[in-house]
Amino acid sequence: MEKLEEMLKREVGEYLDRVEGMDEVKALLSGEISREDYARFLKAFYIIEYISRKAVLSAAEHTEETNPYLSARFISCARGEEGHAEIALEDLAGIGGGGVDIEAIPIAALYGEILLDEAEKHPLGILGHSYLFENASGLMFPKHKKPPYPSKFIEVHAKEDPGHLAAIKRTVRKIEPELTADQKDEIVRFARESGELLLRVFESVRS
């Protein structure tokens, strides 16, 4: 049976190939991005941080009795992301942007609902979601060049996410012996679904 880490690593690689091929992401990492596209990124970053943290805390609650180790790791993950949504808003305010109303962006609101539903019914799926984004962020953001705008969000993630990446890999290795083939498939399936949803959110966000 293929190891979960290898399955997830393949998902991350395919996702990064796709994301880093986007013109907007190329501009973001080069530091030569328009204010409008940068504002869109900051709004998308806020959304993913805000809804992810709620889902991770919910997954911690729903694994507290069945898998105390994983529950503790979810809590640690949520603590590591504490305040990050607010940093995205601070950067957005620094370029004259307003706030973000998630409920006014239908796909963002739906994404939040899907994450919370997964956290309740299949909390292991949230591990796949977190693995994808911690790895993508930890591999992508350290390559960025500073844009001519407030960029604390990117700088924080470039510094912290390589450590988060290492931590979530340890979590996957620790729990893998307890997982069934179906559970592994669900983790990978939801990582893929979550990645697609974030791209749909970014496409829907306007500066």
Q: Look at residue 22 in the predicted model and tell me its pLDDT.
A: 97
Q: Write down the residue that tokens 């912290």 correspond to.
A: 160
Q: Look at residue 165 in the predicted model and tell me its pLDDT.
A: 83
Q: Look at residue 99 in the predicted model and tell me its pLDDT.
A: 87
Q: Look at residue 80 in the predicted model and tell me its pLDDT.
A: 81
Residues 6+ apart with CB under 8 A from 81: 49, 52, 53, 56
Return the sign of the alpha-carbon dihedral for residues 73, 202, 150, 112: negative
Q: Look at residue 120 in the predicted model and tell me its pLDDT.
A: 97
Mean pLDDT by 10 residues, the chain (207 residues): 92 96 96 96 96 97 96 92 92 93 96 98 96 91 93 91 86 94 96 97 89
Q: Look at residue 207 in the predicted model and tell me its pLDDT.
A: 63
Burial class (CB within 10 angstroms; exposed 0-12, middle 13-18, buried 19+) of 96 = exposed
Q: Write down the residue that tokens 């693995």 correspond to.
A: 131
CA distance 150 to 91: 5
> In 3-state terms, what secondary structure has residue 71?
helix
Fold for 4-204, please state it: Heme Oxygenase; Chain A (1.20.910)
> In 3-state terms, what secondary structure has residue 144?
coil
Q: Look at residue 1 in the predicted model and tell me its pLDDT.
A: 73
